[in-house]
Amino acid sequence: MSPRFTSQRSSPTPEVPMRKADIVAFFDRLAAALPEPKGELEYSNPYTLLVAVVLSAQATDVGVNKATRGLFAVADTPEKMLALGEEGVRQHIRTIGLFNTKAKNVIKLSRILVEEHGSVVPQERAVLEKLPGVGRKTANVVLNIAFGQPTIAVDTHIFRVGNRTGLAPGKTPLEVERKLEKVVPPNRRLHAHHWLILHGRYICKARKPDCPACIVNDLCAYKAKTVA
């Protein structure tokens, strides 16, 4: 996923809410440009996706992928991860921030999955959030990508895009998530998460948004648009 949220002081100032017709056009254009968006974390099953997302907290997808290629080659199930052990996990993910804590969480959640869930990743947000290292954002990512649920995981990119564009202004990630759930057209809910993350990561960037290359810049309420 993405780096942690900036503080509220440095968060983008919410713009005026975008009009409903503009929101529809906003997502129609993103869908036309990228009909089947995909997440950038590498995984082979719901379990490896869960582990990858847990490891991605305060880390980049690129960095996580480099570490998990070797890890998942030897441990792609909870049982194999437990057999590898905490030290074995730690050795594979040493290049990722907070690797000691993350290694502990991966082993703990793997043990819970084996002992309480028959080694199957739960498909309920509340149950997922009880796993070590799993918060609302992580749970939403897993539910969306692994199980096709139309959840929206608000990371730093979606938080910025939601506020900057006026799509879903809010002071907290949960507020932005709730507003997106209300305004995103039903036929766009499944992929909205990916479209917004990719848009924020590559176009509507934090320091300097690439407004000239933005396909929705005429719909955006951002007052300080950049020019070529």
**Residue 123, domain CATH:** 1.10.340.30
pLDDT-derived band at 137, boundaries 50, 70, 90: very high
Please identify, among 118, 147, 176, the residue that sits at the C-terminal boundary of a domain: 147
Instruction: Report the chain's mean pLDDT, rounded to a whole number.
Output: 92
Which band of pLDDT confidence, cut at 50, 70 and 90, is reported for residue 13? low
User: Is residue 223 one of the residues assigned to a domain?
Assistant: no
Residue 226 located in a structural domain: no
What pLDDT does 11 receive? 47
- Is the sign of the CA dihedral 109, 5, 167, 52 positive or negative? negative
In a domain, 92, yes or no: yes
Task: Tally the domains of the chain.
Answer: 2
Q: Which CATH number characterizes residue 207's domain?
A: 1.10.1670.10
Q: Annotated binding site for [4Fe-4S] cluster, which residues?
A: 204, 211, 214, 220
Catalytic residues: 137, 155
Q: Are 120 and 184 in a shared domain?
A: no
Does residue 27 lie within any of the structural domains? yes
pLDDT, residue 227, reads 81
State the pTM of this model: 0.88
Assess whether pLDDT exceeds 60 at residue 5: no
Taking alpha carbons only, the member of 44, 45, 41 closest to residue 55 is 41
> Which helix (DSSP H) or strand (DSSP E) does residue 99 occupy?
helix 99-117
Residue 183 and residue 116 share a domain: no
pLDDT for res 228? 65
Please state the rounded mean pLDDT for residues 36-50: 95
Nearest one of 17, 14, 13, 11 to 167, comparing CA atoms: 17
Q: What pLDDT, in 10s, does the model give residues 114-127?
A: 999 999 999 999 99
> Does one domain contain both 164 and 99?
no
Task: Say how many C-beta atoms besides its own lie within 10 A of residue 120's C-beta.
Answer: 11
Alpha-carbon distance of 154 to 11, in angstroms, equals 14
Domain membership of residue 2 (yes or no) is no
Cα–Cα–Cα angle for 121, 123, 126, nearest 5°? 105
Q: What percent of the chain is modeled with pLDDT above 70?
A: 93
Containing structural domain, residue 157:
8-38+151-213
63 shares its domain with 139: yes
pLDDT in the model for residue 1: 47
